[in-house]
Structure 1
């Protein structure tokens, strides 16, 4: 809501001609970073800016939520009787819901959760056949790859729908 008010204020300033094209908040933060870099040296300013980045490439918390979303989708998919491979559709559904609800991109976490869950489910569901001579490693790799792709595709389309729903017209 505050963003919308700020946007209206900027629009009103632009119409009145008082906007100089400089964001005061951004200017102050840049001056602060330069002062920190000058007082500590060039090496410390590089480490200062790299540690203040808000995003990270991997999050354990996001991985746990991804396992929850994928696992919940697999449970829902497994509830459909007499139709094979519905757990895989559940991985797609879990990735879609996670992408719809998450505010950041979490492809690594969701890919890992989808791959491990898909591979483990395939191996555990075909455990009697593994004793008869079926290769468990190959089965895990194939099902894990399919689970990884389905989770990533679901996450992509969930994020796409989220950006479409939250976009201003």
Structure 2
């Protein structure tokens, strides 16, 4: 057992668990080498992901985009006149911003985050818009279809927003 002042700083820092490493060199985005993992692992949490996800998926990016997507859905849904369409406008704006700001394309992360945020918003919107006993029976009958429409639409809106954000970034950074 080590004393607390002898522990490695990476084990005390939760953000260090999510650091993405360059798969070829073992160097993270800030240029620091990771001495605790080999170059093929990517990050310490990489082993928890399914094997088919591959090295292009970033858990940290997904979590950040998910939080931003939920905030976009809530902010868009708070617009009184446009109603539930505003949720998708907020989701589109977040995905566009992720494409505009990010240096790498994150279609998988943005699509999954948008799908989760929109599916949850559809489910909670249905649950709170109908009288509770009726809503429970309605969700028991049609809940999968309702969430499926929300997930599919959220995924498509997020992918389109990210595509246009990436395209706009490419237009801004290209030499004339």
Q: Is the 8 A contact 1:123 1:136 kept in 2?
A: yes
Give SS of 2:138's match.
coil
Q: What is the rounded CA distance, in whole Å, between the counterparts of 1:63 and 1:160 in structure 2?
A: 20
Task: Point out the structure with the larger helix share.
Answer: 1
Give SS of 2:79's match.
coil
Q: Is the 8 A contact 2:111 2:156 kept in 1?
A: yes
**Higher RCO (CA < 8 A, seq sep 6+):** 1
Give 1:94's aligned residue: 94
- Say yes or no: does 1:76 pair with 2:83: no
The aligned length equals 120
1:52 Cα deviation (Å)? Answer: 9.8
- Say yes or no: does 1:131 pair with 2:136: yes
Give SS of 1:133's match.
helix
Give 1:109's aligned residue: 109
Q: Is the 8 A contact 2:99 2:163 kept in 1?
A: yes
Give SS of 1:89's match.
helix
Q: What is the rounded CA distance, in whole Å, between the counterparts of 2:110 and 2:104 in structure 1?
A: 12
Q: Where does the alignment leave 5 or more consecutive residues of structure 1 unmatched?
A: 1-47
Q: Is the 8 A contact 2:73 2:121 kept in 1?
A: no
Give 1:60's aligned residue: 59
Q: Which has the larger radius of gyration?
A: 1
Q: Where does the alignment leave 5 or more consecutive residues of structure 2 unmatched?
A: 1-37, 43-53
Superposed CA offset, 1:52-109 (max 9, x none): 99x9321101101211221232132122113222111111111001111111011111
Give 1:20's aligned residue: none
Give 2:160's aligned residue: 153
Q: Is the 8 A contact 2:115 2:154 kept in 1?
A: yes
**TM-score normalised over the length of structure 2:** 0.62
Aligned Cα root-mean-square deviation (Å):
2.3
Q: What is the rounded CA distance, in whole Å, between the counterparts of 2:90 and 2:115 in structure 1?
A: 13
